A and B are shown apart, each in its own frame.
Chain A
């Protein structure tokens, strides 16, 4: 009897040890899984109502003025019409907007990058912006002339974000292991990120002018590689509902897709109310967006916003 009970107890012991071992193994797997998933996609959210309520009345105007956004628009001569449209529409709402072109174009004021290569243009533009404006602006927004941006919504999105942190945001995509911000949706860098980028630009091993690949790698991916070396990671910008605020498509495309995919919830399923960018617009659509965003509205719908942005002097379409 004694030997049997001792055997039994030995069995219990072995069983418990086995159980503990298995549980520990399982947990290590889960933890590892969770950690890798967490790094799969970085999400950055817009401020919530709780955040905005914490801001006192006095801070409002001061706060609105504290966001200084410098806009970099990379253009080529073939884009002249879009360039003109951007200049006359949303670019006016940047604290400063400059056009960086591959070559000089008559009548159109621009900073000449003297190159046709998009990555070189981007590098030079960021270097120029940092050298000249590092003390005057705290956020840098880069876009193509096919993009329409609502700078007020960008400032609202940046409300609780400290520009001395390395922010790199927009509409992200993945290329293998690399998470990068698509240039089509616009790229936002804080001054800290630009500072770090600038120090790397002179190191060809980390930030080569010509990509290591034989194939041409797009400039937005090259930027992501560079920034990664500086410890700056891409983050996808979303509203409190999880919808992207930087968009690589136009409103029309979103609507058409929604009409096919969820015809009973077309507008609800479309785009964020606080959208910052849309891409793929024609010149005419830029003007329509200006009217649609800065003019057309429904009477009697009042908003209690925490920031105040006054209309621009000497402008007639906003």
Chain B
């Protein structure tokens, strides 16, 4: 029962993501939004997220390079990033954004401040990509949306 194994794998993978704090309830909310009209809603949203967040991160890095003193602008970017990340339930990433935001407020931004955010972003992207890949194999009907 390859299929059921796959399903189990998907479920445990998702559970891991939650347990490790990569995802939070918001992800469940997204899953709840999925329906017949938008069967791949979550995946689409996540893809959109990574596209947008990559752009945002580029902007942030550029801002850090060109005008590191403009904390207001940095914070503005970070707020957007945080909003985006929280909208897909990216919990850890959201926290990193929060920390970055606090640093902005303290005007204590360094080059590596953003690196943490960036690395978390990379990790999440990897994990979610793997997750969705597996999910696609399982098939839409088998996706178990376990809402808390």
Whether chain B is bound by chain A comes out as no
Q: Which residues of B contact A (CB under 8 A)?
A: none
Q: Which residues of A contact B (CB under 8 A)?
A: none
